[in-house]
């Protein structure tokens, strides 16, 4: 081993976010209505959920994207995890896979002992 690092995931790549959504059976849409408890607002980017509420994908000043939704009733949490946990995990998986493959590395996906997604990256040029 050489070094170990902890990263706080930031959503920057819409293609990776779209892949994460698709894996959860959701759709990332442009210029669509976000359904909330008491209103509906058209947003530039929305993740359409199967339940009654959707997720807004808001671009921030630093270029990253923030997710926002109505958590009432647990509907959204059921689909993407509490505090977007499942969605963020899968975004990280797809983003890391994409970056590693761009460099010509091999990527194997599995699950670790804690039940978390794990990627193993190998390659002759590592």
List of residues contacting other proteins (CB under 8 A):
1-10, 12-13, 81, 83-86, 88-89, 92-93, 95-96, 99-100, 103, 112, 114, 116-124, 126
By C-beta, is 41 or 66 nearer to other proteins? 66
Instruction: Name the token pair of 42.
Output: 């058209």
Distance of CA 67 to the CA centre of its chain: 9
- Rounded Cα–Cα distance for residues 56 and 67 (Å): 6
Distance of CA 45 to the CA centre of its chain: 14
Q: Which residues of 50-82 are buried (b: 16+ CB within 10 A; e: fewer)?
A: eeebbbbbeeeeeeebebebbeeeebbbebbee
């Amino acid at each position: 081993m050489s070094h170990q690092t902890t990263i706080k995931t930031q959503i920057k790549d819409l293609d990776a976010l779209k892949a994460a959504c698709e894996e959860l059976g959701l759709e990332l849409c442009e210029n669509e209505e976000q359904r909330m408890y008491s209103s509906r607002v058209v947003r530039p980017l929305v993740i359409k959920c199967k339940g009654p509420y959707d997720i807004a994908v808001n671009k921030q000043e630093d270029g990253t994207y923030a997710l926002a939704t109505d958590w009432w009733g647990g509907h959204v949490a059921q689909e993407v995890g509490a505090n977007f946990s499942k969605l963020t995990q899968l975004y990280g998986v797809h983003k890391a896979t994409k970056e590693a493959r761009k460099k010509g590395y091999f990527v194997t996906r599995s699950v670790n002992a804690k039940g978390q997604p794990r990627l193993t990256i190998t390659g002759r040029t590592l």
